[in-house]
Amino acid sequence: MASPRVRVVLGTALAMGALAILRPWTVRPIQTSQPSLFDAVAYVTGAWPRVLEEAERTALDIQAARSAAAAPRGGGAPLSHRPVFVKVAGVVTEVDRRSRVGVAHLRTGTGSPVLIAIQVGPVMRGTALRDAVSFLSFTDFANQSEFAAVSNALNDRVLRDVLGALDVASLQGRTVTVIGAASFAGDGDGRPVDLVPVTLRVEGGGR
């Protein structure tokens, strides 16, 4: 007669064999797929029509925007230098492309003269365009890298769609009308207002 220990071993073996045959469970592979990476270019492609619509709808006269940026905020709070959309017309006095961050200097023709530095590439600097758009917020993105990538993609869109077919060198002496994101952070200390164009129309033809 088998000992109790032998009976336990035999019972365990029989039970394991039955489980192997019947398999009362489902075997699933371990998930190895990674979450998809954020595509800033695709995001901006979808958002670009909204950017254009907001820029054209909300653009302020450059003088009004400049005054609003300089006005003290309630409660003695510091001035707000958040970029805003502006519309300005004037004569291009100089195209300076000595650095890769090229600018076209624009002098307005009405009111107190305002010096504008329109960014014309081939490198666009700063985050003015992203920060002027009301529906783009840091909290909508996973991290700072995604937020920065959106800014770069917006600037690249300007280089392609706004400035790509434009003969920048021919702008000097021409009258242009520009809608774009303006930063007033350096305004008032002798530096021109920095402007990232969203639309640029040259009098007598061109965009």
Name the average pLDDT for the chain.
82
User: What is the reported pLDDT for 4?
Assistant: 60
User: What is the reported pLDDT for 179?
Assistant: 97
User: What is the reported pLDDT for 33?
Assistant: 55
What is the percent of the chain with per-residue pLDDT over 70, rounded to a whole number?
71
- The answer to whether the beta carbons of residues 38 and 158 sit under 8 Å apart is no
For the chain, give every domain's residue range.
Answer: 40-202
User: What is the reported pLDDT for 78?
Assistant: 47
Tokens 């592979």 identify what position? 29
Q: Residue 45 pLDDT > 80, yes or no?
A: yes
Instruction: Give me the numbers of helices (H) and strands (E) for the chain, helices first please.
Output: 5, 6
Alpha helices by DSSP H, the chain: 4-22, 40-58, 62-70, 128-132, 144-157
Q: Which residue has the higher pLDDT, 51 or 115?
A: 51
Mean pLDDT of 4-12: 58
Integer Cα distance of 148 and 180 in angstroms: 19
- pLDDT tens for 165-192 read 899 989 999 999 999 999 887 555 567 8
For residue 31, give the amino acid letter.
Q
Q: What are phi and psi of 118, to 5 degrees?
A: -85, 120
- pLDDT tens for 62-119 read 888 887 776 665 555 445 578 999 999 999 999 999 999 999 999 886 666 678 999 9
User: Which listed CATH number (1.20.1250.20, 2.40.50.140, 3.40.50.2300, 1.10.10.10) goes with 40-202?
Assistant: 2.40.50.140
Integer Cα distance of 100 and 122 in angstroms: 6
Mean pLDDT is lowest, of 57-66, 69-78, 193-202, for 69-78
Q: Residue 10 pLDDT > 80, yes or no?
A: no
Q: Residue 6 pLDDT > 70, yes or no?
A: no
Q: Which residue has the higher pLDDT, 3 or 166?
A: 166
> Has this prediction a pTM greater than 0.95?
no
Identify the top-confidence range among 19-23, 129-133, 163-167.
129-133
What is the percent of the chain with per-residue pLDDT over 90, rounded to a whole number?
58
